[in-house]
């Protein structure tokens, strides 16, 4: 019995020694454990804020499509107006200032709206001849003639030649009014008059440029 037990222990020891030698001759590979990728790893990406690129060793500045350029409305006149009507008005006023007329030129063009007084003249004549004509283009000017506020000629068409009437002078003031009834086709009402005494002496002579409704006045004082 003792011999059998010893034989069994010997076998066990022999097997254990063989296993140790076999383990020394064999290597065991340990699989690598793949670590989980973290999105926050220190991964380096190219910077998007570079101001230039390289081409064949040369530095090329980058361009950007977003330029902060202030916008300005286009204007032919160099100004911006809220209302197009103001633009037109401003331009017209400027043109008028450049061609501004004197008061005399305005009156010559449009006719005087103010009554004109050509003075008073003394005479010993019994009568005078009062004549008148259109001193401009004959364009249909009409006048009315009054003496001491009485209508002597209701409507007279002014021609290029002198026409008129004989006026017997009263003692004292003889007021003669020439009233412009219209301004003809081209305006204003333009006329020339003469007052000649009974001896052929010129008492008075003058011209007018009147707007419609205005009048020219002369007074002959009989001594």
| Mean pLDDT, each 10-residue run in order, the chain (223 residues) | 61 57 51 50 50 54 54 51 61 61 66 92 97 93 97 96 96 97 89 96 95 96 95
Residue 39's pLDDT is: 47
Q: Chain centroid to CA 112: how far?
A: 32
Read off the tokens for 137: 């283009």
Residue 125's pLDDT is what? 96
Cα(53)–Cα(181) distance, integer angstroms: 89
pLDDT of 14 reads 60
Q: Give the whole-angstrom CA distance, residue 212 versus residue 223.
A: 34
Q: Which residues of 92-112 are buried (b: 16+ CB within 10 A; e: fewer)?
A: eeeeeeeeeeeeeeebeeebb
SS3 58: strand
Write down the pLDDT at residue 3: 62
> What pLDDT is recorded for position 31?
54
pLDDT at residue 40, as a whole number: 47
pLDDT at position 184 is 87
Enter the pTM of the model: 0.54
């Amino acid at each position: 019995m003792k011999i059998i037990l010893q034989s069994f222990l010997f076998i066990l020891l022999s097997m254990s020694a063989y296993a140790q030698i076999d383990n020394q001759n064999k290597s065991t590979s340990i699989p690598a454990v793949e670590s989980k990728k973290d999105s926050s790893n220190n991964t380096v990406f190219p910077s998007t804020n570079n101001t230039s690129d390289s081409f064949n060793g040369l530095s090329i500045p980058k361009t950007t499509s977003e330029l902060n350029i202030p916008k300005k409305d286009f204007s032919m006149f160099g100004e911006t107006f809220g209302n197009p009507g103001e633009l037109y008005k401003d331009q017209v006023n400027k043109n008028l200032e450049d061609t501004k007329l004197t008061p005399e030129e305005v009156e010559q063009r449009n006719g005087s709206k103010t009554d004109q007084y050509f003075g008073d003249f003394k005479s010993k004549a019994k009568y005078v001849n009062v004549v008148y004509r259109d001193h401009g283009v004959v364009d249909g000017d009409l006048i009315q003639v009054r003496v001491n506020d009485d209508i002597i000629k209701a409507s007279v068409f002014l021609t290029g030649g002198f026409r008129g009437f004989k006026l017997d002078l009263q003692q004292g003031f003889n007021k003669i009014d020439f009233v412009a009834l219209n301004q003809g086709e081209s305006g204003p009402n333009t006329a020339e008059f003469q007052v000649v005494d009974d001896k052929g002496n010129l008492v008075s002579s003058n011209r007018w440029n009147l707007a419609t409704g205005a009048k020219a006045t002369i007074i002959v004082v009989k001594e």
